[in-house]
Amino acid sequence: TIVYTDIDNFWVAFDSVKTTTDSLKQLNILQRLYVDKGTPGLKAFMQAKGYTTEAWLDCIRSYPKYWASIRPKTLKIKAVNKELDPYIAKFKKTYPAFKPGNIYFTIGAMRSGGTTQDDKVLIGAELATGDPEVDISELPANTQNWLKTYFGTYPFKDVVLLNMHEFVHTQQKGRGNTLLTQTILEGTADFVAELVTGKVPAMAYMTYGKEHEIELKEKFKEEMFLDSYGNWLYNGASNNFGVADLGYYMGYAICKHYYQQAKNKSAVVKELIELDYSNDETIEKFLAKTGYFKEGFNKTKLLKSYESKKPTVTNLGGIANGDKNVDASITEMTIYFSKPMVKNRMSINLGEGGEANFPIKKSLGFAEDGKSIKFQLELKPNHTYNLVITGRGFRSVDGYPLVDLPVSFKTK
């Protein structure tokens, strides 16, 4: 079943919101006319993406040109119904164990064009129907950059493909704990959606991935057992390759390679969809079985090798970690690194005692060579200070996160 109710309800609420400038009244209108009347799909989308009535109101008030230009496009989505039916039928042929679910077309608060929850496919029409004509001029610069690229792919043309991708997710079980598991989960969705529709997403990761698979393969192999996947999935283009979401391509390439080698194609589709994605060992055995890495792989060695390439903090200038006799008149601390670092990324967390024990006032910037960064300090006599220099932000130029370093010292 395809449900559009939320789109109609949203625009009724949207028009009613415009009849007052009182923000409390606006909030009440949105709650009453949109959220309270929401389908199970809208409720699921709110849960999956953390949407709130306040988030919708903030978007409506902040980006009037965006909403005016996207509105007519969201209303065209009802025509998709006829397009989807034959592909749902083909999905059932491709995978006879297909369990049908509902597709909910909703209006979100600009965080996701599509996701799933249990048997529900959830589509955010305010993004999924966009194209280059949509006015994004009021949005923050980073959001504009993302939407310019995304809308340049004319996502509405691929709304059937998007739905098939999400439908695959409703058939899968578990979620990845490692980069490898999550990429195969996403790659399976892209690959099976291609079998059903004959199309792949018109996204940069597909084009770039096919052209650079050899180098991507080596880098992916190095990182595939990590439990973080910010370099490869659900990211922007600010990684070493300059292309977002390349993990989708790697997962797709692994699945396609396996499928092409197999004699029983339908058995492969069944196996891909029914993998237990919450079991890392199962997915590792599956990868070995695919033969994608002809030379094989050794998980322990790969993890050890990756750790050895991470940059470290070599010293803190005039302050020694653990020193209990630091001069309180010191106003600066320089952190030195073992490798040149990316200069627009940093991360220092509060340590024990929180803000009361945090000595840093502000950053004074990186050195020209990227091998050190200076901070202004504000110290009091006879006081213990704690902080954690972390790899969440600090990253070497060659793409490795910093080894975390807790720092503690006391002034005299």
Q: How far apart are CA 322 and CA 384, in angstroms?
A: 10
Residues 20 and 144 grouped into a single domain: yes
Q: Are 225 and 268 in contact (CB under 8 A)?
A: no
Residues 58 and 200 grouped into a single domain: no
pTM score, whole prediction: 0.80
Q: 289, 308, 327: which is the final residue of a domain?
A: 308
Of 126, 87, 85, residue with least CA distance to 2: 85
Q: Output the pLDDT for position 142.
A: 85
Residues 43 and 137 grouped into a single domain: yes
- Phi/psi of residue 210, each to 5°? -65, -35
Q: How far apart are CA 31 and CA 195, in angstroms?
A: 41
Residues 357 and 269 grouped into a single domain: no
Q: Structure tokens of 372?
A: 């050190």
Q: Output the pLDDT for position 318.
A: 84
Q: 290, 308, 326: which is the final residue of a domain?
A: 308
Residues 164 and 24 grouped into a single domain: yes
Q: 171, 206, 237: which is the final residue of a domain?
A: 171
Q: Output the pLDDT for position 79.
A: 83
Residues 46 and 26 grouped into a single domain: yes
Residues 193 and 167 grouped into a single domain: no
Of 23, 17, 102, residue with least CA distance to 67: 17
Task: Please write the tens of the pLDDT for every residue from 308-351.
Answer: 999 999 999 989 999 999 999 999 999 999 999 999 889 999 99
Task: Please write the tens of the pLDDT for every residue from 254-310.
Answer: 999 999 999 999 999 999 999 999 999 999 999 999 999 999 999 999 999 999 999
Q: Which residue has the higher pLDDT, 206 or 116?
A: 206
The CA-based angle 42-43-49, given to 5 degrees, is 85
Q: Output the pLDDT for position 221.
A: 97
353 — pLDDT class (breaks 50, 70, 90):
very high
Between the two ends of the chain, the Cα-to-Cα distance in Å is 71
Q: Are 204 and 246 in contact (CB under 8 A)?
A: no
- Phi/psi of residue 294, each to 5°? -60, -35
Residues 145 and 80 grouped into a single domain: yes
Structural domain harbouring 106: 1-171
- Does the CA dihedral 244-247-253-256 come out positive or negative? negative
Residues 231 and 213 grouped into a single domain: yes
Q: How far apart are CA 341 and CA 402, in angstroms?
A: 9
Residues 71 and 14 grouped into a single domain: yes
Number of domains present in the structure of the chain: 3
CATH number at residue 372: 2.60.40.1220
Residues 161 and 242 grouped into a single domain: no
Q: How far apart are CA 84 and CA 90, in angstroms?
A: 10
Task: Please write the tens of the pLDDT for every residue from 227-263.
Answer: 888 889 988 777 778 898 999 999 999 999 999 999 9
Of 145, 152, 154, 155, residue with least CA distance to 123: 155
Of 62, 2, 69, residue with least CA distance to 26: 62
Q: Output the pLDDT for position 292.
A: 98
Residues 278 and 342 grouped into a single domain: no
Q: Output the pLDDT for position 399.
A: 87
Q: Output the pLDDT for position 114.
A: 87
Of 355, 371, 354, 372, residue with least CA distance to 363: 372
